[in-house]
Amino acid sequence: MPDMKGLFKRAELQIFLVYMGAHLPIFLLSDARYWDDWSLSGASKEMLVSVFTQAGFPLLGYYHYAVQLIGWWFYAFSTFALGYLIIHVFYLILKSFDFSKSDAKTLSLLAAALPVNFARVAAINNPGLFFLLIFVFALYIFVISINNKNAYLEYTSYALFMFSFQFNALITSFLSVFFIAAFLFYNKAADAPTNATHHKNNLNKFKYTIKRTAEIILLPFFYATIQHFLFSKSGMFAASYNIIDINFGAILSEIKVVILYIFPYDGIYIGKPVALTIFLAAFLVVYLIRANLATRSTEADCNGKGLIGIGVVLLGLGASAYVLVGKEPSYAPWMATRFQVLLPFGAAFSTLGLFKIICAAVFSAKNHDLGDRMKVASLAGLIAVFIVNWWFVYATFYVDHLRQEAFADTIRNTPSLQSRNSVILDRSGLTAFDTMPGLGEYAGLHEAATGKHDALILDYDSMTAYGGWSGFVDNFKRFLGAWSKVEDAAVDVPGCLYIVRRGRDVQSKWSYAANAFIVKIRNPEHYTARHLLSLDGPYCQSPH
């Protein structure tokens, strides 16, 4: 019989258990569609390939078509599996860099549990995990190839990097590869006996490093050239869509995000000002405690500062994907995290660094055994908080899933809502993270209920934000069509208006979600989703 105690001491198993504890609830969303997922749902092969070809990613059209042949559940399964594999390769990379086993495991645990990149729940973001896995695997192969002086593996890693760039957000992250390469090649130039006579000073070492990293520097430009000539954007993606627009405000925005992400627990209920206040207060407490101790620079203190430095760099790179196109990355709005794939890793380094500095200041060095046990208990508690936060994240998306079911059920059972000459406004306030649903989501819900592609349903706040109906249509009319599943809607002023609100009996969306979950499991034939909502209207225009 295998030694179970020894088995649970294995870092790989501990990382998997923490990851599973945080992300297993994603399987409750196996049938859910979020954001642009409705444009994928039930789409033909021709439409998928055409749209993703316009976006410059024809391969993704074939991928989404293949997944839907398998079943929509595969998105949740592959998101769960790919997410773990990425964390596992991250652990292997850390070990290759001679991080201590404890630090490598802790960083991987934090990266697995930190509440960032909520957009992973969306099926349309699922392929990004494939490319991120290829990216981190390429980095692992690259590090191994340099350590073992294997040119074949080195150039294999270059090919994998090129393939991973189909997820464009990874191109800015490639800067981290350049820094790692410069570090490895510089050390190689300094340590290799064959180079001792040729690299006698730092200038020669620098020249050698630049020469060896030239191919790495050119890779993104080489890929950009290939993409421009073979996979250029066209159609609705041709202009004014994620165009690089760097300005001073965007740079300040990135700096602000990095500062806020140093303290990574933002979650759902703690806003940025509160998180920043807690972070600054923690630093003040540490400073006051250290002022009363003998002045010393401990190994943990130095190590913590180094980890925070690495984390800040990775956080900056993780946020840059949005900053480069003039957008402001953020924790709370889940759609604003879809390209920030490096944030879990940067936040893990910063969190561990801050944790070490606090522990070095708070726990007495006289009792190492008690101090070590307190550190382990504190770290376990912190990870437990992150895991519970993820449960709330998935619960929030589950409530949104119930809203979608209720909306489709309401349309299906209300003939007047199936009229082409009407507009339905959603004021239920049950959307995930209070994020405004997109045009495609509502069109997909209408199609799911009626099989038609001719309705315009809008979030009330979204419409008013653009100055009313006309402003909204003018801003989004280029997206009307097959992609948003609004192919034949009347875009002139509607005849009748309906408003959907939260039902009178739904005082707490959380209690409703719990009850709905129980009913759906125990007695699904008695579950009626439309009871979640109520309907006001019609408010029709006068014939005159």
Is 47 a domain residue? Answer: no
Using the Cα atoms of residue 257, residue 17, residue 78 and residue 227 in order, give the sign of their dihedral: positive
> Does any domain span residue 71?
no
Higher pLDDT, 530 or 217: 217
Among 110-119, 296-305, 326-335, the range scoring the smallest mean pLDDT is 326-335
Inter-residue contact 91 to 108 (CB < 8 Å): yes
Averaged over 163-191, what is the pLDDT? 77
Closest among 306, 304, 279 to 360, alpha carbons compared? 304
In a domain, residue 509? The reply is yes
Q: Is residue 516 part of a domain?
A: yes
Q: Comparing C-alpha atoms, which of 361, 371, 349, 376 is closest to residue 297?
A: 361
Q: Which domain holds residue 516?
A: 414-539
Over 50: is that where the pLDDT of 333 sits?
Answer: no
- Written as six digits, the tokens of 47 are 């439409």
Query: Across the strands, what pairs with 459?
Result: 426
The pLDDT score that the predictor gives to residue 488 is 65
DSSP result, 363-396: S-SS-HHHHHHHHHHHHHHHHHHHHHHHHHHHHH
Q: How many domains does the chain have?
A: 1
3-state secondary structure of 457: strand
Query: What percentage of the chain carries pLDDT values higher than 70?
Result: 70
Mean pLDDT, the chain, rounded, equals: 75
Q: How many helices and strands, by DSSP H and E, does the chain display?
A: 20, 4
Q: Is residue 513 domain-resident?
A: yes
How many of the other CB atoms lie within 10 Å of CB of 170? 26
Distance CA(76)–CA(81), nearest Å, equals 9
What are 300's two structure tokens? 């943990």
Identify which has the larger pLDDT, 487 or 88. 88
Q: How far from chain centre, in Å, is Cα 18? A: 18
pLDDT digits (tens, 9 = 90+) for 4-26: 555 667 888 899 999 999 999 99
Is residue 240 a part of any domain in this protein? no
293: burial class by Cβ within 10 Å (0-12, 13-18, 19+)? exposed
Average the pLDDT over 471-500 and give the result: 68
> What gap in Å lies between CA 102 and CA 331, rounded to an integer?
28
Domain membership of residue 375 (yes or no) is no
**How would you list the strands of the sheet with 422-427, edge to edge?**
456-459, 422-427, 496-502, 533-540
Cα separation of 472 and 207, whole Å? 56
Kind and range of the H or E element at 234?
none
The pTM (predicted TM-score) of the whole model is: 0.79
Q: 76-90, 114-128, 234-248, 376-390: which range is least confident on average?
A: 234-248
Within a domain: 501: yes
> Taking the alpha carbons of 245, 52, 484, 403 in that order, is the dihedral positive or negative?
negative
Q: Band the pLDDT of 234: cuts 50, 70, 90.
A: low
Environment class of 287 (CB within 10 Å of its CB; exposed 0-12, middle 13-18, buried 19+): exposed
Give pLDDT tens digits for 29-62: 888 888 778 888 878 888 888 888 887 778 888 9
Cβ distance 335 to 435 under 8 Å? yes
Quickly list H helices, 24-72.
37-40, 45-54, 58-70
**Cβ(487)–Cβ(454) below 8 Å:** yes
* Helix, strand or coil, per DSSP, at residue 23: helix
